[in-house]
């Protein structure tokens, strides 16, 4: 038998456990004397009252030869002198087909207190984005199941899209519709910084049994430590990468990337980073590209990603929104005015863009989408004149046409949460509408 490689592994195996001691705790930060560890390594903190009770923490920095750690859970029974045990490894999660239909936390543990399924593989939660030269180009569309998107803002397999909206404009409802109606094999949904009440509400109401049947939901609620909220985003992305490497077409939906940035700001300020734009630390703008670039195409499969971005006061130019928009391959703007008019999904087609759409649709669809966009733009430009009665019909043929088509366009772009349309059905409706038939 060729046992040389096994002997080599045994020779290199480090069977020593390395310990340190807590020096002090300030706010979210734990400072310890030792152990020997690297940035990103997971450590066990042994509680002072019960040596069997341990708290997971991660090395986030160093200061004056002290190790700076942040916990994955609430700090209890921790005091000076508590032992800190190094694992020498970054965080890894268990992943496999057995997780489909499960709701898990940021560490991959089921939230319903059930046993972990068997046959799961260990997978690192943090990875580098794939080599850009090994990414196949996006040349095929994926059915989203929302008429306004499939016809006017077609999404390609492996595209990354931002959904920008203020609070209460229908982000979660839109994500639920995509999860239920999409043509993807598996959905991975990350609920980051959500209210505890909204988690079950989203799973039962917006996602439903139909959506959960092919989904994995990763939850990190707003009451959890900042590090857990960040790890929720990394865990969901790692699960998506695992299934992409298995050859699946995966939908990754993260709600919201803004709360990931806020959690990273907490960590950055606690470790001593200087606040910059609107209080966000430099590390926030460093991790966003690394996180968002991990989605996309690979030689085996695809991750089509939808990231929601909360915009304070509907300001689309605030720092996180501006940064994310520059990284992604398109953005959908949810308009509060449309939501107030009862038009759901409240996607403002004129302000939204899919950057890969011209490469993945037919010339016929391009023509239909261009015509609808032109009609919407003409009506929008002359909206005030039309509303106050200052425009007289017959003055401009294009405006007359836009006024004639406006009720049909509004009806076409609206879609009930329980309505499902295939891409072909949506395109046929759009073609009939433009041709003057029944939309």
Q: Return averaged pLDDT per consecutive 10 residues of the chain, 439 residues in all.
A: 70 76 88 91 84 86 91 84 90 94 94 88 92 93 95 97 91 93 96 91 91 95 94 97 96 95 93 89 95 95 96 80 95 93 93 95 95 96 90 90 95 93 95 77
Q: Which contacts qualify for 125-132: CB closer than 8 Å, 24 or more apart?
A: 125/90, 125/91, 125/92, 125/93, 125/231, 125/234, 125/235, 125/238, 126/40, 126/90, 126/91, 126/234, 126/238, 127/238, 127/241, 127/294, 128/290, 128/294, 129/290, 129/293, 129/294, 130/294, 130/296, 130/298
- Residue 407 corresponds to which tokens in the numbers above? 């009720």
pLDDT at site 439:
47
Rounded-to-integer distance, Cα 291 and Cα 276, Å: 20
Rounded-to-integer distance, Cα 210 and Cα 267, Å: 37
- Residue 119 corresponds to which tokens in the numbers above? 């046959």
Place of tokens 């890894």: 92
* ∠ CA 103-106-108, rounded to 5°: 60
**Residues 191, 255: contact at Cβ < 8 Å?**
yes
pLDDT at site 50:
60
- Residue 56 corresponds to which tokens in the numbers above? 């997971």
**Residues 254, 308: contact at Cβ < 8 Å?**
yes
- Residue 357 corresponds to which tokens in the numbers above? 């759409």
Rounded-to-integer distance, Cα 23 and Cα 30, Å: 8
Rounded-to-integer distance, Cα 306 and Cα 328, Å: 10
Place of tokens 């960040």: 230
Q: What is the DSSP letter of 395?
A: S
């Amino acid at each position: 038998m060729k046992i040389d490689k096994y002997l080599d592994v045994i020779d290199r195996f480090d069977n020593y456990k390395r310990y340190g001691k807590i020096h002090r705790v300030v706010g979210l930060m734990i400072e310890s004397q030792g152990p020997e560890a690297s940035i990103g390594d997971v450590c066990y903190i042994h509680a002072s009252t019960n040596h069997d009770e341990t708290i997971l923490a991660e090395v986030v920095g160093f200061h004056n030869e002290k190790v700076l750690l942040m916990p994955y859970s609430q700090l209890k029974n921790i005091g000076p002198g508590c032992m800190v045990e190094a694992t020498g490894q970054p965080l890894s999660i268990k992943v496999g087909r057995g997780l489909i239909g499960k709701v898990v936390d940021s560490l991959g543990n089921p939230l319903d207190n059930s046993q972990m399924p068997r046959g799961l593989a260990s997978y690192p939660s943090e990875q580098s984005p794939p080599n850009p030269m090994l990414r196949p180009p996006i040349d095929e569309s994926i059915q989203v199941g929302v008429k306004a998107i499939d016809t006017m803002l077609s999404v390609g397999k492996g595209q990354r899209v931002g959904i920008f909206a203020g609070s209460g404009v229908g982000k979660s409802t839109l994500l639920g519709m995509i999860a239920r109606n999409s043509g993807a094999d598996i959905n991975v949904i990350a609920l980051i910084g959500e209210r505890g009440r909204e988690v079950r509400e989203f799973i039962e109401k917006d996602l439903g049994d139909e959506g959960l049947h092919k989904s994995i939901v990763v939850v990190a609620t707003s009451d959890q430590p900042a590090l857990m909220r960040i790890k929720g985003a990394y865990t969901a992305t790692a699960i998506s990468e695992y299934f992409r490497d298995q050859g699946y077409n995966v939908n990754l939906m993260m709600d919201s990337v803004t709360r990931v940035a806020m959690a990273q700001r907490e960590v950055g300020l606690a470790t001593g980073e200087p606040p910059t734009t609107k209080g966000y630390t430099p590390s926030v703008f460093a991790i966003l590209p690394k996180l968002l670039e991990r989605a996309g195409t690979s030689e085996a499969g695809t991750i089509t990603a939808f990231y929601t971005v909360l915009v304070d006061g509907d300001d689309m130019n605030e720092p996180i929104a501006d940064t994310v928009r520059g990284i992604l391959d398109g953005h959908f703007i949810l308009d509060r005015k449309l939501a107030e008019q009862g038009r759901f999904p409240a996607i403002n087609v004129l302000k939204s863009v899919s950057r890969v759409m011209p490469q993945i649709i037919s010339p016929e669809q391009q023509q239909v989408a261009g015509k609808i966009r032109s009609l919407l733009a003409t009506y929008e430009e002359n909206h005030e004149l039309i509303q106050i009665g200052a425009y007289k019909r017959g003055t401009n043929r294009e405006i007359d046409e836009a006024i004639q088509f406006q009720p049909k366009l509004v009806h076409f772009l609206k879609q009930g949460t329980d309505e499902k349309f295939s891409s072909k059905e949506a395109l046929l409706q759009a073609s009939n509408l433009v041709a003057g038939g029944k939309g």
